[in-house]
Amino acid sequence: MAFVPPTAEQLGLYLGLEAIDGDRADLLITTATSLCQTVVKPLPEGAEAVVLSVAGRAYVNPQQVSYETIGPMSVQRPQGSGGLYLTKSDKSALKSLAGRGGAFTVDPTPATADPSPTWPIDDAGFTDDFEPGWGYS
């Protein structure tokens, strides 16, 4: 199954909002999808969660407010908590969903490699010729 972009209704459910501005939500989802495609293209199945997270951050905090006081209530948010951006964990999740970013091994041995020695060996297991000074006569 391929990646299917989330809808404005899904963003509203994700954020726990009863009403959502559909045009704004669609714009943020489209832009978040494009931003995610800078890391992995095409987006894999399951990337909907990352797109919703990116669009959701931008929907609830578009001006990147970090500290707000209304009457006796004050709220402080971490720096960079608004606007459209990918966190390090967003990028890691996208790479992981695409099957990239984990540990792997590379075997440099060609498929045609022969395990037999490529040098002449005598009966004692030594090569026939020795350079002077190695202790063999």
Whether pLDDT at 134 is above 70: no
Whether residue 106 lies inside any domain: the answer is no
Whether pLDDT at 127 is above 60: no
Does this model's pTM top 0.75? My answer is: no
Instruction: Put residue 55 in one of left, alpha, beta given phi > 0 → left and psi -120 to 50 → alpha.
Output: alpha
Whether pLDDT at 95 is above 70: yes
Could you list the residue range(s) of the whole structural domain that residue 65 is in? 8-97
Whether residue 2 lies inside any domain: the answer is no
- Residue pair 42/88 in contact (Cβ under 8 Å)? The answer is no
Region 77-94: mean pLDDT is: 78
In the chain, the number of structural domains is: 1
Peptide bond into 110 cis (omega under 30): no
Residue 74 has what pLDDT?
A: 81
Region 26-44: mean pLDDT is: 92
Whether residue 134 lies inside any domain: the answer is no
For tokens 């199945």, the residue is 45
Region 43-59: mean pLDDT is: 91
Region 76-84: mean pLDDT is: 65
